């Protein structure tokens, strides 16, 4: 990680934090649930207000100036998504807007995967990630089975010690009928980079890969097209990248297999949400994804470095990433997410206790596929509007409960 300049970092952090009205309006509260939804900077709120009060209209359905302006904003946002993802061949890719990551993954499954597969094919998908990155693929297999097409769904192998995908085991699983792999970029529970750069080597050059990037886009640099992220679909939610709820995007490369073409009549797009996504991308670009990644990783490491010294807590995820001074090349960096359990206090009770001290955290089974209600945990997730002082106050409360 690059050398820090504490004074410069503090100025940058304060400048960004001051741009979030909901944060500055409630200094008594600390929002630590950004993995569920992010707060919105003033630039996004202003962009939405300006659009709704100056040129609100439908897109692609009129010839008057407001309609033309709305259509231009929608198309501009498609191009900005490509730019933000570092698309090296934007002329070959497409961007489709959805209601969020869940609907985006379902669109890939319904509109692309189902027509692509034939009897005897197999797909590999994650059985321990977010349910949104499992259920669409199971639904696709069930839909095909109803048509008499038998497709094998296999679990993406995982390393027990780290929670990482086991790329060596994956390479042994891939066969001549392997047609598709679904993966997660940053795990929504463990917070670790799942090292998806290894997947392409493991599956070979021809198998399409779909990436759930709900916890990475807007939190760290995501650059498609190069050897580190040679994937075919990137899916993310707008509300987790500081845009409004109800919008998301599917970036499709369209080079392995047919082009993604959403089926059915495409009705009125969420123009307000798309406008907010454009403003959010511009804001994040100016703030600097690399700098955001360093900031949230530093805060997460500051918390885990304390928690792993307390016997009362169990931290979920890769143990090699717990210490601030961890230099292991295989260690995962926690990208702003720390999930843990207290050995004596139930997770939902701990969530209530933390809120009584002003901390808003997630406390349940976190929508993890395969988890049950008894497997609940507390998740702390940070973003640019959080500070070291907030993490230190949280550590003090957790210390008092140890």
User: Along the chain (402 residues), what's the average pLDDT of each consecutive run of 10 residues?
Assistant: 66 95 97 98 98 96 94 97 96 96 98 97 97 98 97 94 88 97 96 90 96 97 88 98 98 96 88 98 97 94 91 84 55 82 96 98 92 82 97 97 94
- Residue 221's nearest CA partner among 288, 296, 286 is 288
- Nearby residues of 179 by Cβ (< 8 Å), 6 or more positions away: 116, 117, 121, 122, 123, 207, 208
- Hey, how many other C-beta atoms are within 10 angstroms of the C-beta on 57? 16
What is residue 320's predicted lDDT score, i.e. its pLDDT?
Answer: 60
Alpha-carbon gap, residue 155 to 182, rounded angstroms? 10
What is residue 374's predicted lDDT score, i.e. its pLDDT?
Answer: 63
What is residue 250's predicted lDDT score, i.e. its pLDDT?
Answer: 98
Answer for the pair 212, 130: CB distance below 8 angstroms, yes or no. yes
Sheet hosting strand 313-315, strand order edge to edge: 313-315, 337-342, 377-381, 362-364
Residue 34, CA distances (Å) to 52, 228, 357, 400 in order: 26, 26, 18, 25
Q: pTM for the whole thing? A: 0.94
Give the length of the chain: 402
What is residue 4's predicted lDDT score, i.e. its pLDDT?
Answer: 60
Which pairs with CB-CB distance under 8 Å and at least 24 residues apart come from 341-347?
Answer: 341/313, 341/314, 341/316, 341/376, 341/377, 341/378, 342/312, 342/313, 342/378, 342/401, 343/311, 343/312, 343/313, 343/314, 344/312, 345/401, 346/376, 347/376, 347/377, 347/378
- Residue 285's nearest CA partner among 80, 2, 100, 89 is 80
Alpha-carbon gap, residue 26 to 395, rounded angstroms? 20
Q: Which residue reads 């670790």 in tokens?
A: 192
């Amino acid at each position: 990680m690059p050398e820090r300049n504490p004074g410069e970092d503090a100025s940058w952090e304060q400048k960004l934090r001051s741009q979030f009205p909901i944060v500055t309006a409630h200094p008594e509260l600390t929002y630590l649930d950004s993995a569920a939804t992010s707060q919105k900077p003033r630039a996004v709120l202003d962009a939405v207000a300006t659009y709704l009060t100056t040129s609100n209209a439908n897109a692609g359905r009129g010839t008057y100036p407001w309609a033309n302006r709305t259509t231009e904003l929608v198309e501009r946002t498609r191009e900005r998504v490509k730019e933000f993802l570092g698309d090296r061949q934007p002329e070959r890719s497409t961007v489709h807007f959805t209601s969020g990551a869940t609907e985006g993954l379902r669109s890939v499954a319904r509109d692309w995967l189902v027509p692509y597969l034939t009897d005897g094919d197999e797909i590999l998908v994650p059985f321990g990630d977010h349910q949104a990155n499992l259920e669409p693929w199971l639904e696709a297999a069930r839909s095909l089975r109803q048509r008499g097409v038998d497709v094998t769904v296999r679990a993406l192998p995982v390393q027990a010690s780290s929670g990482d995908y086991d790329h060596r085991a994956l390479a042994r699983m891939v066969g001549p009928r392997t047609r598709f792999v679904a993966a997660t970029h940053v795990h929504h529970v463990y917070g670790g980079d799942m090292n998806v750069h290894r997947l392409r080597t493991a599956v070979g050059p021809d198998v399409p890969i779909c990436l759930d990037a709900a916890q990475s886009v807007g939190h760290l640099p995501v650059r498609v097209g190069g050897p580190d992220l040679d994937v075919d679909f990137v899916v993310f939610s707008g509300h987790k990248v500081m845009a409004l709820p109800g919008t998301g995007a599917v970036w499709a490369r369209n080079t392995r297999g047919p082009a993604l073409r959403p089926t059915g009549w495409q009705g009125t797009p969420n123009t307000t949400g798309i406008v907010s996504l454009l403003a959010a991308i511009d804001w994040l670009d100016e703030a600097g994804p690399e700098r955001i990644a360093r900031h949230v990783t530093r805060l997460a490491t500051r918390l885990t470095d304390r928690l792993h010294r307390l016997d009362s807590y169990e931290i979920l995820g890769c143990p090699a990433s717990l210490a601030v001074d961890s230099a292991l090349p295989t260690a995962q960096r926690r990208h702003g997410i720390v999930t843990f359990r207290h050995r004596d206090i139930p997770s939902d009770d701990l969530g209530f206790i933390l809120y009584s001290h002003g901390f808003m955290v997630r406390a349940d089974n976190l929508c993890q596929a395969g988890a049950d209600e008894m497997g609940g945990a507390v998740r702390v997730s940070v973003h640019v509007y959080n500070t070291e002082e907030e993490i230190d106050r949280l550590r003090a409360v957790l210390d008092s409960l140890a």
